[in-house]
């Protein structure tokens, strides 16, 4: 595949609904459905879940099991979001029909007592698994279901990782590509025009080296910072939609900061909307992440509690209010004039339109990771159509994967320099 893609390829990559080629490929992986906090207690209220263009509801039954089922009752298609979560099932409030976490109808009180009608009725239900504060779901063929993901941060103790969720009004691929684009940080996230000493700003055109792996690919961003030293950051892209990046240098010059591994999982709500799951894992066994540290990080990113529309995972700043851009701030203080690192990303990604036409682009040398991601996603589409194994679905595919960063000697191989740092510790 060339660096540019056709409109037909773009259509394949971006359409994710039921029965679409990309939707079929994504359904072959475990993907986040909601945060655990959304259905934290047995018999708590159900929550709406829209995933890959499909309307569902999630609930935790009386025994603590999580159900992810069709949003509509099988009887007359009334919305189960309004249902009563009680006695190990979700009961429709229209006529009282009740469904368990497997989607099986277990009670039809509007039918005669002797009726066996309900035993033949069920609604769509998907397998779920809990890890890392997230309820994961598998929407693909049961016979092809892989093991749940085994990312390093899912194995860390609860004291050492955090996760949040943010809605973004654009196609998932725009968000993915923004996340794996290392060059843009020198510009979009240059938040102090008077102090240009940050490592990423000493070299605004990093050299990228991409290495395809059995789980996706890893890529090195190499920035020259002096005659004898480079700033090296090795990222991981884990198919189909997770990025991992190192923050091992975060403590440099800031003793209170955490050395960390962090990243995002980008989950298509539908073709034009995405939920971004933002995670951080401490890389130091002696350094748990405190509530205060996490609140400070989230505020800096632009997704603190104060930034959300109350009761939702959607930001107050949006395309409708131009993400609060301040032109005077842009002229005198920051490159974008927008507050919040992730808010800056959202402004640029959503500003392309809900689904960007990539056939009009002109990718350059620093877009190597993006070009590789597109190629592997198109590969996954073909493999899913053939019901073949997909990259990253084999057992333990992600188990030992870690990202890292550091200062290395100029000319030193990044593979050798990061050999130990790239091995998972948890």
Q: Which of 126, 144, 162 is the last residue of a domain?
A: 144
* CA gap 140, 148 in Å, rounded: 13
- Name the domain count of the chain: 2
Comparison of pLDDT for 188 and 63, the residue scoring more: 63
Q: Are residues 281 and 170 in the same domain?
A: yes
Q: What is the pLDDT, as a whole number, of residue 169?
A: 98
Query: Is 162's pLDDT higher than 50?
Result: yes
In a domain, 422, yes or no: no
Q: What is the pLDDT confidence band of residue 188, given thresholds at 50, 70 and 90?
A: confident
Mean pLDDT over residues 47-52, rounded? 98
From 118, 144, 170, the end of a domain falls on 144
- Assess whether 237 and 120 both reside in one domain: no
Residue 424, domain member (yes or no): no
Phi-psi region of 115 (alpha: psi -120 to 50; beta: other; left: phi over 0): beta
Q: Which domain holds residue 120?
A: 35-144
Flag whether pLDDT at 300 surpasses 50: yes
Q: Is the pLDDT of residue 253 over 70?
A: no
Percent of the chain at pLDDT > 90 equals 81
> Which of 84, 119, 144 is the endpoint of a domain?
144
């Amino acid at each position: 595949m060339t660096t540019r893609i056709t409109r037909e390829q773009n259509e394949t990559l971006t359409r994710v609904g039921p029965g679409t080629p990309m939707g079929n490929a994504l359904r072959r992986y475990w993907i986040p459905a909601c945060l655990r906090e959304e259905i934290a207690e047995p018999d708590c209220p159900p929550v709406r879940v829209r995933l890959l263009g499909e309307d569902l509801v999630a609930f935790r039954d009386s025994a603590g099991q999580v159900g992810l089922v069709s949003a509509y009752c099988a009887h007359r298609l009334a919305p189960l979001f309004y249902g009563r979560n009680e006695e190990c099932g979700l009961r429709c409030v229209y006529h009282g029909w009740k469904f368990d976490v497997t989607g099986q109808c277990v009670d039809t009180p509007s039918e005669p007592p002797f009726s066996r009608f309900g035993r033949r009725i069920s609604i769509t239900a998907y397998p779920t698994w809990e890890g890392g504060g997230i309820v994961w779901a598998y929407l693909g063929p049961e016979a092809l279901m892989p093991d749940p993901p085994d990312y390093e941060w899912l194995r860390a103790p609860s004291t050492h990782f955090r996760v949040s969720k943010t809605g973004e009004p654009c196609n998932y691929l725009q968000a993915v590509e923004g996340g794996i684009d290392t060059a843009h940080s020198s510009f979009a996230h240059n938040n102090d025009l008077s102090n240009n000493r940050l490592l990423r700003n000493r070299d605004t055109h990093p050299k990228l080296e991409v290495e395809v792996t059995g789980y996706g690919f890893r890529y090195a961003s190499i920035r020259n910072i002096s005659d004898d030293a480079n700033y090296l950051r090795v990222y991981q892209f884990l198919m189909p939609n997770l990025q991992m990046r190192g923050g091992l240098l975060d403590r440099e010059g800031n003793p209170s900061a955490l050395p960390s591994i962090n990243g995002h999982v980008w989950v298509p709500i539908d073709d034009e909307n995405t939920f971004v799951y933002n995670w951080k894992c401490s890389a130091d066994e002696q350094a748990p992440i405190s509530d205060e540290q996490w609140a400070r990080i989230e505020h800096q990113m632009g997704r603190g509690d104060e930034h959300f529309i109350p009761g939702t995972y959607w930001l107050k700043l949006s395309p409708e209010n131009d993400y609060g851009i301040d032109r005077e701030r842009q002229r005198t203080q920051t490159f974008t004039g927008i507050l919040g690192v992730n808010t800056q990303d959202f402004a640029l990604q959503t500003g392309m339109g809900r689904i960007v036409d990539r056939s009009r682009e002109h990718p350059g040398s620093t877009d190597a990771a993006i070009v590789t991601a597109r190629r592997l996603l198109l590969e996954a589409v073909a493999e899913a159509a053939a019901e073949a194994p997909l990259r990253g679905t084999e057992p333990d595919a992600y188990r030992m994967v870690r990202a890292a960063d550091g200062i290395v000697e100029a000319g030193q191989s990044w593979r050798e320099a990061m050999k130990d740092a790239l091995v998972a510790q948890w």
